[in-house]
Amino acid sequence: MTKYLLLTAALFASAPALRAQNRPTPKLLVGIMVDQMRPDYLTRFADDFGPDGFNRLRREGMECRNTHYNYIPTVTGPGHSSVYTGTTPRYHGIVGNSWYDRRLRHDVYCTDDTTVQLVGTAKGMGVSARNQVSTTLGDELKMTYGGRSKVLALSLKDRASALPAGHMADGAYWLDTNTGDFISSTFYVPQLPAWVSEFNAQKKAAAYRSQIWTPLRGPEAYRNSLPDSNRYERIFKGKAAATFPYDFNKLAPQNPPAFESMYTSPFGDDLLTDLALAALKNTDLGRDDVPDLLAISFSSPDAVGHTFGPLSKEENDLYLRLDLDLARLLQALDQTVGKGNYTVFLTADHGASEVTRYLADHQAPVGSYSQAALNQAANAHLTAQLGPGQWIEAERNHMYYLNRPLLAQHKIELAHAQQVLAEFLRDQPGIAQVNTTSQLLNAGYTTGLEARLQMGLYYPRFGDVRFELLPGWTGDIGVGASHGTGYAYDTHVPLLWWGMGIPAGVSYAPHTITDIAPTAAMIVNSKLPSACTGQPIVEVLSSPPAGKSRRK
């Protein structure tokens, strides 16, 4: 017994997670998400980053290098929801950027809300977080501190703003690509606050569009990327090749909407950073002892990745410029909130594949299939097995929605029809995994694609049969990056923690993206989001012994 007690005491003494400490509460928590960022960008471009952006976070903070999404699909809407709710689509309900609604018999976009109106523009569907059925980190912060905490979300994309903002935010703003203005909805504000209107009046989007995108640095800064001229990039209408320079004022009329270039260039990151700095200057975020939340999501890296690919000179240049924007943001936080008074986490909503044409040219395993042909063959098989009829009602996100009224009319059990379709799909080229919804609801998967599919299942919005392609397979062996799978290239994302109370170090322990919200909740001393399934990251919450750092 004595030996056991001594061993237990030694374990407790050596574990920093168990060391007693009085953790200070930051005045402001800043959540930064970079759309379609892969962890290798932090190391590939590190020598060419400056000291005050990404490298500052890595040098002085905690880097969790083995962080993954634990569900399918890995796309923007579910990614932002999962980070801020601390759970997967199975519990927060955002199963994709859009999904098929059986009751309405048409698609629903993840932030669609017919009960509210847009603010700052005259047309468009209302936007809110109402489809997100869990509370968020910001919601819980508001409730914990009696409504005194301020919650603000900013992005170019509406879903990357509304979903992190949650249900109780003081504001959520995103870009109208037709006008270049930042807008909102009545779910958040009855009208644009003066500081947003004043920002819009400066017409910064138009000023950025008038700039010509040329490489920021000399050739040595792009040594880890492909040559500018290659066959793996989408060519804008109005250009003969996907090469620098890019004059978006000239390209805009042929590549609508008018301010689409804010997505497909680094200038969108510049514009969003300007908005964040305006918010810090004109609001009282981080000005008192009640913790606030500022959620910022940079969307341009996603569009640039889809257009040019992860190995492109354009993507490389975008990250060199984003590094400068990040440095600007941290400097502004130092000046407005104060050094040592705020905490930052930075992550991504998903990763990205390499360009499939590039992989094929280099003999890597890739393949393609036709979704339309597969749909036609699947319905033909069901007709042969079940009798005449349009048995498939819809296909979305690699999910088949069966025609349930027709099944009921013919007295065919749903589980049987699901199994018939699943068996057909398993025999098709390029398909790695097929599961019926009945299987995913009833089985207890813990690893592999099955577990990730299961964690993506929110029954009211889910199809009847879900399939996953082999690694590297896509609808077209073409140009630009893609994402959405359960493979490492899409699930593996960066995760950096920095600022007040965060030790310097590197963690290689496995973590899921759903661990971010509970960790952040511990930092700001709030309740966990209502459907939270993640666990706090102890390395982030543990201070090293005085005078020591875990980063080598």
Q: How far apart are CA 178 and CA 121, in angstroms?
A: 10
CA separation for the pair 42, 393 (Å, rounded)? 44
CA–CA dist 508, 217 (Å, integer): 33
CA distance 197 to 183: 9
CA–CA separation, 403 and 464 (whole Å): 10
Residue type, 298: F
Q: How far apart are CA 495 and CA 478, in angstroms?
A: 30
Q: How many CB atoms lie within 10 A of CB 472?
A: 20
76 as an active site residue: the answer is yes
Strands 171-175 and 182-185: antiparallel
- CA terminus-to-terminus distance, the chain: 38
Distant-in-sequence, close-in-space partners of 7: CB < 8 Å, separation ≥ 6: none
In sequence order, the β-bridge partners of residue 473 are 367
State the Cα–Cα distance between residues 21 and 42, nearest whole angstrom: 31
Please check whether residue 84 is in contact with residue 517, taking contact to mean a CB–CB distance below 8 angstroms: yes
Tokens representing 34 are 């970079």
Q: How many other CB atoms are there within 10 angstroms of residue 131's CB atom? A: 22
Residue carrying structure tokens 């959540």? 31
Answer yes or no: are the C-beta atoms of 14 and 328 closer than 8 Å.
no
- Neighbour-count burial of 237, counting CB atoms closer than 10 A to its CB (0-12 exposed, 13-18 middle, 19+ buried): exposed
| 45: CB partners within 8 A, 6+ apart | 54, 224, 316, 319, 320, 323
- Paired residues of 62 in beta bridges: 497, 505
Which two structure tokens, joined as six digits, stand for 312?
Answer: 């492109």
Classified as helix, coil or strand, 393 is strand
**Burial class of residue 144 in the structure, from the number of CB atoms within 10 Å of its CB (0-12 exposed, 13-18 middle, 19+ buried):** middle
Coil, helix or strand at residue 445: coil
Please return the burial class of 339, using the count of CB atoms within 10 Å of its CB with bins 0-12, 13-18 and 19+: exposed
Of 67, 74, 76, 491, the active-site residue reads 76
- So which residues are the catalytic ones? 76
